[in-house]
Amino acid sequence: MSLSYYWSKEFIGNRPFLWLLLICNVLGTIYGYIWYGHQISDTVTRGQYWQVIFVPDSPTASLFFSIAILLLLYPPRTALGAMVQQWIEALAVVTSVKYGIWAVAIIFAGQAQGDVLVWQDWMLVVSHTAMAVEALLFVRLFHYRWTALAGAIAWTFLNDTVDYSFGVFPWLPGQLYDDLSAVELFTYLLTLFSGLAAWLSRKYALPKSSM
C-alpha cells in the first residue's frame, strides 16, 4: 500500500477515521476554549458581552470543523440542512487555514524577537499546523459553493475588524505588542489568503460545473 493512500479520499472519508478525527477535534476545541478562558472572562468583566463570540478564534475554527465532520458522518436530508452544511464547511476551511497559519506565524515571530518557547508553544505549533492541513485535505469531501465561501470570508473579516477595533484579538507574545499594526495587517491579508486557498482547493477538487 503506497503512502499516498493515507491522504486519499478513500482513507480520510472512511467512517472509523472520521470518528477518530471528530474525537480529536472535539477534544482540541474543548482545550482551546479553556485556553481562552481568562480572555473570555476579562471580556465579560468589562461588560463587552457581545464581543465574547469573537474572542476564541482557533477553538471556534476547530468547532466549525468538528461540526463539518459530524455532518459528513450524518448528512442532512433537507435542503435547509444541506445549505447549513455548506456554510459550516466553508467556515471550517477558511477559519482553520487562517488561524492554523496565524498561530504558528505569531509564535515564531515572537521567538524571533526574543520570546522563549516552551513545550506548550510547540504543542500549539503542531496542533495548529494540523488544523490548516486537515481543512485543505477535507475540501475533497466538502460541498460548499461560492456563496457559502463568500459568507465565510465576510464573517472572518468581521472577526478581524472586531478583534482589532475593540482589542479582543488573541493575546500576543509581549514582544509583538509594539508591532500591533503589522500583526493586524498580516491578519487581514491572511483572511484573503485563506479564502483564496479555500476557493482554489474547492475549484480543483470538483468539476467546474459543481461550483
What per-residue confidence (pLDDT) applies to 109? 96
Cα-to-chain-centroid distance, residue 34: 17
Alpha-carbon gap, residue 14 to 16, rounded angstroms = 6
Is residue 201 within 8 A of residue 136, CB to CB? The reply is yes
Residue 93 neighbours by CB distance under 10 Å: 32
CA distance 35 to 28: 10
For residue 125, how many other CB atoms are within 10 A of its CB? Answer: 15
User: What is the C-alpha separation between 93 and 97, in angstroms, rounded?
Assistant: 6
pLDDT, one tens digit per residue, over 13-69 is 889 999 999 999 999 999 999 999 999 999 999 888 999 999 999 999 999 999 999
Written as nine digits, the cell of 62 is: 476547530
Work out the number of other CB atoms within 10 angstroms of the CB of residue 167: 12
Distance of CA 122 to the CA centre of its chain: 18
Which cell numbers in the block locate residue 43?
471580556
Q: Which of 71, 103, 98, 73 is nearest to 87 (CA)?
A: 71
- Mean pLDDT for the chain? 92
Q: What confidence tens digit (pLDDT) does each residue in 86-117 have?
A: 999 999 999 999 999 999 999 999 999 998 99
SS3 content of the chain, % helix, strand, coil (to 5): 80, 0, 20
Q: Which amino acid is at 121?
A: D
Rounded to two decimals, what is the model's pTM? 0.92
Cell readout for 203 is 475549484
- What pLDDT does 7 receive? 65
Taking only the tens place, the pLDDT of each residue in 166-200 is 999 999 999 999 999 999 999 999 999 999 999 99
